[in-house]
Amino acid sequence: MKKACWWCPSRALKGAIFSFVVSLVSLSVATGLFGCKARELVRTTPHMDIGPEYWVRVLLANDVNRCSLGVESIFHITDGAGRTMIPDTLFFRDGEVLDVRLTQGGFQISGRSFESERLIVVASKPHIVGVDGDKYRGKIELRLNPDRQSFDVINHVPAEAYLAGVVGAEMPRHWEPEALKAQAIAARTYCLFIKKRFGRRRNWDVTKTAANQVYLGLKGESRQVWKAVNDTAGQVLFCKQDGAEDIFPSYYSSTCAGHTENSRGVFGDSYGPLCGVTCPYCRDVAKAKHFFWPMAQYSKEEVSKKLTESYSSIRQLGTITGIEVARQSEYEELSRVTKVKVVGADGKSDWLRGEDFRLTVDPTGNTLRSTSFKIVLLGDNWAFMSGRGWGHGVGMCQCGAEGMARAGHTATGILGYYYPGARIARVY
């Protein structure tokens, strides 16, 4: 038996010391983790003082007559003219979920009436407001529609905070940092372009869906995403257009399957950097089922119904009995249908862009994944065969961007490849 000496702690004491150290370590680990999480959650929304031209107005909900708001910090509500309707949480408790309803002259929030066509909810730092269970940075606007039968919910958010909710929604957040940075610059350019082109004519700039860019608010954020956004802060893509340099619609899509598409054939607009390039990089990144998608079938009746319901010009053709490829791009790697001829029962016909046709037949875009297909009539069904790629194919191929990043290319190299002739510049 080993003899205890005075400087060696007894077994019981050793146990006590061990337990103490373990709890100390656990405590610091726990504090560290919770501390990180807490820091992340309460991080002050950046760039709140940035100029209005770099705020993005995101349509969160349209034509609704009810929603819920969750505010965890002190907040105030102003009307459209900036007049304060309530100065603080005088009428509502912190953390309370507020029920917003439509009234004749405006809104009712948790039983309290506000006679105003517009209300803006501004929470104090960290400037986060919940809408129907999801949290968003910036401010929330409730705007009565002209018929006063419904209202829109719009998130006013600084561009960088908006992008933090977009990048991780549009690209897996564990992807290479350079791919995430390329995504951040492309998404920033795209949203500022859409804001500039369409924002003046409406009360919002972008939707939160894939119709523009998917935006998830705080749910889409992560440390990697914030790093990509911060590392590229204010950087956008420019190109020469009619002799002058300006931003352009830097479209991007998931998997081009060999060659990106010229935007003219897909969206009708023409920009040098959107001419289409060969892409050997997405094949090893994309899932096989996304690179080659399985045959999709829709009944003739369903296709006719969807087309005639969506386009008045096609409705005039009566029942649609024929669908033909009218034009397609012919790249060595693949071709996409860029124009579809639609024929009615009496022989009259009309045309649709390939991408419009695809999203009318399959609005989700998850079955008819691209316009790289062959159309065949199988019995009473239209069959879309030999499908390749996912998305419209214009601009940056996201899987290709990840492939390039894995091969050691930088964000600048990736963007220069997919948007040839474009230049990166910092606008704020």
* CA distances for 167 relative to 157, 182, 188, 217, 224, angstroms: 15, 10, 9, 10, 10
Q: Which residue lies nearer to Zn ion by CB, 28 or 386?
A: 386
Q: What are residue 388's DSSP bridge partners? A: 292
Helix (H) / strand (E) element for 33: namely helix 11-42
The pair phi, psi for residue 52, each rounded to 5°, is: -60, -25
CB contact at 8 A, 94 and 142: no
Contact stretch for Zn ion (CB under 5 A) within 31-39, 69-77, 275-283, 361-369: 275-283
The answer to the question of residue 182 lying near Zn ion (CB under 5 A) is no
Q: How far is it, in rounded angstroms, from Cα 292 to Cα 404? A: 20
Work out the angle between the directed axes of helices 354-361 and 300-310 (0-180°, nearest 10). Answer: 110
Q: Which is nearer to Zn ion, 119 or 185 (CB)?
A: 185
Indicate the residue among 162 and 417 with the shorter CB distance to Zn ion. Answer: 417
Cβ proximity to Zn ion, 400 vs 416, nearer residue: 400
Question: What is the dihedral sign for C-alpha 182, 187, 188, 192?
Answer: positive
Stretch that binds Zn ion, among 13-21, 100-108, 319-327, 396-404 (CB under 5 A): 396-404
Task: Convert 82-112 to b/e letters by CB count within 10 Å (16 or more is b).
Answer: eeebbeebeebeeeeebebebeeebbebeee
Q: How far apart are CB 366 and Zn ion at their closest, in Å?
A: 19
Is residue 391 part of the contact set for Zn ion (CB under 5 A)?
no
Q: In angstroms, give the least distance from the CB of 175 to Zn ion.
A: 14
Note whether 416 and 330 are within 8 A (CB).
Answer: no
Q: Does 237 bind Zn ion (CB under 5 A)?
A: no
| Binding test (CB under 5 A) with Zn ion, winner from 276, 387, 400, 416 | 400
- Asked if residue 404 binds Zn ion (CB under 5 A), the reply is no
Q: Which single residue is written with the structure tokens 């006590």?
A: 16
Size of the site for Zn ion (CB under 5 A): 5
Asked if residue 397 binds Zn ion (CB under 5 A), the reply is yes
From the list 282, 352, 396, 415, which residue makes contact with Zn ion (rule: CB under 5 A)?
Answer: 282
Residue 161 interacts with Zn ion (CB under 5 A): yes or no: no
Task: Give 266 or 397: the residue with its C-beta nearer to Zn ion.
Answer: 397
Distance in Å, CB of 371 to Zn ion, minimum: 15
When asked if residue 395 is in the footprint of Zn ion (CB under 5 A), the reply is no
Q: Catalog residues that contact Zn ion under the rule CB under 5 A.
A: 256, 279, 282, 397, 400
